[in-house]
Structure 1
Amino acid sequence: MISKETEHKELKNGLTTGTCASAVAKAAVYMLVNQEMIKHVAITLPSGSEVILEINDSSINKNQTQCATIKDAGDDPDITHGATICASAKFIDGNDIKIIGGKGIGRVTKPGLAVEVGQPAINPVPLKMIKQSIAEVLPKGKGVAVEISIPEGEKLAKKTFNPQLGIVGGLSVLGTTGIVKPMSEEALKDSLVVKLNQIEAYGFKEAIFSPGNYSTSFSKENLNINEEWVVLTSNYIGFMLEQAIIQNFKKVVIVGHLGKLIKIAGGIFHTHSRIADARNEIMASHYFKFSKDAEGFDLIMQSNTTEEAISFVKDAAFWNYLANTMKKRAELYCHGDLEVEIVLLSQKAGLLATTSEALSIINHIHHEK
């Protein structure tokens, strides 16, 4: 059992590739507009807080500027830590802000991702950050084209899942918060337990678990849940269920995206893709058991992502079946010592399904707290 008195080492946060891309894009445009070098640039994160990044390797002429920054991922074991993120900028006719994926930025070739096929793999949140950062320094009525590049991106991408996802030629520009939180396993586990300790200290015996940012945001916006009372599990869903039992919790609602929670339906409770990644196989097998739809089985098996696979499910009742399968596997994992309810989400479809008591427990937690 982890002691509540355990001291937790403070790990250093880092910056996402999206934040770094925003910084060099803003700096390149500022230097193009003002024809003067800068060494640092401030970027506003989605949370509203501000970070300052160092700018280097700059060059300026009247027609084009370029610059770079070095990504600092903090104490997170991120393969892009120390990578050089570059941008070049030039004026164009009109008043548009055009973002181009240059060398080392992957290009999407398969459906089911947040970015359309054929486009550079710059996810929606960082793309918005980049454009907003540029708009802060670009005079009204002016148009600019900014090319983002990562010189070592194609080499680094071989160590990621981009090739399997159909992202070719480089890395993705990612980040929903702009900040990289450290993922050192033991330290992260300890930090997750701290939140559970806090809730237990208030005398509550019911908890809401969320694997990550998307499900937490969905809970806040659609289920009227205060983020303060949501316990993040990251990939350690099984570990956190065990901790809930140790601390005598009686009920847990897991709110999560299909791509993460589908693994529970296969009895997988450490959900990192390096540990186990059988999303298509689990979803396809359960769908065939439910529907006997052989064509749907094949299409799900061939899907690039679970988001794409959703479109091949012909009977919406499958989602309730799947959520209840997850509930049974989780309760079996807990040997009956914990009631587990499921809220199953999709980024495109929103709420897919809930098990029978999930929303009533959430409402009870909301009113009690």
Structure 2
Amino acid sequence: MEETREERAERIKAGKLREGWTTGTCASCSAKAATYILLGKNLEEVKKVEVELPIKDRTACLEIFRADKLNGEAIASTIKDAGDDPDVTHGAEIGAIVRFSREKGIKIIGGEGIGRVTKPGLGIDVGEPDITPIPRKMIKKAVISAALELGFKEDEVALEVEIFAPEGRERAKKTMLERLGVIGGIGILGTLGIVVPYSTGSWKASIARQISVAKESGCDTIVCTTGRQSEDLAKKFFPHLPDVAFVDVGDFIGFTLKYAKQKNISRVIIAGFLAKISKVAKGEEFTHAKKSSVDIDFLVSLAREEASDEICSELRKSNTARQFAELAKSYGLKSVFQKVAELAKKKCNEFGVHTEVIIFDFSGDNILAYAS
């Protein structure tokens, strides 16, 4: 029985999140199903397909959405289920066309809706489809497994596997793939084969990809923003920098700085609003609201040098960083924002990479502070 919207909401509220499958797992199952069909299995026999995952002793068994054989090639596809993760590819058809090849081995190519790499830095050769190394291994292993099961020897296998995603081009528009130089569709990704809802791993992988592409594109300066709004403002402030220099880091300030150092980035600019920057100023590497709330007392302590006890008492009544900022500005306490920026810069520089910090005004018209 299908879960109702209300039941799903209650389950998620209780913290019982459902895992999903990566595009790599979906492509592997589709490729295995298409191989079965090409090498002799009847369509009726290929309703579900099981593949091994990179995680030890774990497999995935997916239903086949579409299967057919025509003109010496076979096609099969699955529907991507991302579980409870808000994945842009959830519900997308991920498929494979398998055909015989003149060359021994398994050649993987990108078809409809699969992005093509046009910039260095992703660990994939320019001109190749954005199918990352682990999914490539999974696809090859799945195809060989199907061939062996049907009595073929591994050294006899000579197949071309074309991965496709009919909605890939449209879905890619909701991602930052084009900025990374992936043009024309989505990527086939995943290191574990499973999607862990709201996983930090996928965020970190995205940050690493962004920084790597920026570095390979010749950017010695990157601007790390904490969301779409701060990125839009940062682009106005640094119009001379290319799009690839702007990195959406979300709440992962610490990881970003560590990776930037690893990649020998010369200059990192952290740009955001008071709430997250104040957390960085306190030494927090992860700034999500669920982990910690804005410390109003900390902000008041920075204002105390210039503010009277009465004003500090009023500031302490603030419920949010935005409310604190508006009150502080009304009392002429703009220096408190510079103190936050300077403290944040000091904490960031401890990671061993030159860092500058910008705090934007919530109105979006000005900056509150810039520690350069």
TM-score interval, normalised by the smaller of the two chains:
0.5 to 0.7
How far, CA to CA, are the matches of 1:267 and 1:84 in structure 2?
33
1:169 equivalent in alignment to 2:184 = yes
How far, CA to CA, are the matches of 1:118 and 1:40 in structure 2?
33
Query: Over aligned residue pairs, what C-alpha RMSD do you find?
Result: 4.7
CA 1:176–1:342: 2 relative to 1, 3 Å: farther
* 8 Å contact kept, 2:122–2:209: no
**Aligned residue among 162, 179, 185 for 1:147:** 162
Which residue matches 2:37?
A: 31
**Aligned residue among 177, 202, 212 for 2:201:** 212
How far, CA to CA, are the matches of 1:317 and 1:83 in structure 2?
36
Instruction: Report sequence identity in percent.
Output: 37
Alignment of 1:53-92 (within 5 A): 53-61=62-70, 63-92=72-101
1:135 equivalent in alignment to 2:124 = no
How far residue 305 of structure 1 moved from its aligned partner, in angstroms, is 7.8
* 8 Å contact kept, 1:45–1:129: yes
How far residue 342 of structure 1 moved from its aligned partner, in angstroms, is 7.8
Deviations 1:80-108 (Å, cap 9, x if unpaired)? 21111111111112322011100111111
CA 1:158–1:330: 2 relative to 1, 3 Å: same
Aligned length, in residue pairs: 253
* 8 Å contact kept, 1:35–1:61: no
- Normalising by structure 2, what TM-score? 0.54
* 8 Å contact kept, 1:74–1:182: yes
Which residue matches 1:14?
A: 20
Deviating above 6 A after TM superposition, structure 1's stretches of 4 or more consecutive aligned residues are: 213-216, 319-322, 339-344
1:41 equivalent in alignment to 2:55 = no
Deviations 1:270-320 (Å, cap 9, x if unpaired)? x4x546448x97xx99xxxxxxxxxxx97x7565687xxx9x99x969589
Deviations 1:7-62 (Å, cap 9, x if unpaired)? 73312111111110111011111221234221111011111211100113211257
Alignment of 1:1-369 (within 5 A): 8-37=14-43, 38-48=46-56, 49-61=58-70, 63-138=72-147, 139-141=153-155, 142-183=157-198, 211-212=200-201, 259=211, 271=226, 273-274=227-228, 276-277=230-231, 301=242, 303=244, 318=266, 329-331=280-282, 335=298
CA 1:342–1:178: 2 relative to 1, 3 Å: farther
CA 1:214–1:97: 2 relative to 1, 3 Å: farther
How far, CA to CA, are the matches of 1:258 and 1:36 in structure 2?
44
How far residue 266 of structure 1 moved from its aligned partner, in angstroms, is 7.3
Q: Secondary structure at the match of 1:65?
A: strand
How far residue 114 of structure 1 moved from its aligned partner, in angstroms, is 2.9
* 8 Å contact kept, 2:22–2:190: yes
CA 1:215–1:317: 2 relative to 1, 3 Å: closer
- Normalising by structure 1, what TM-score? 0.55
How far, CA to CA, are the matches of 2:202 and 2:175 in structure 1?
21
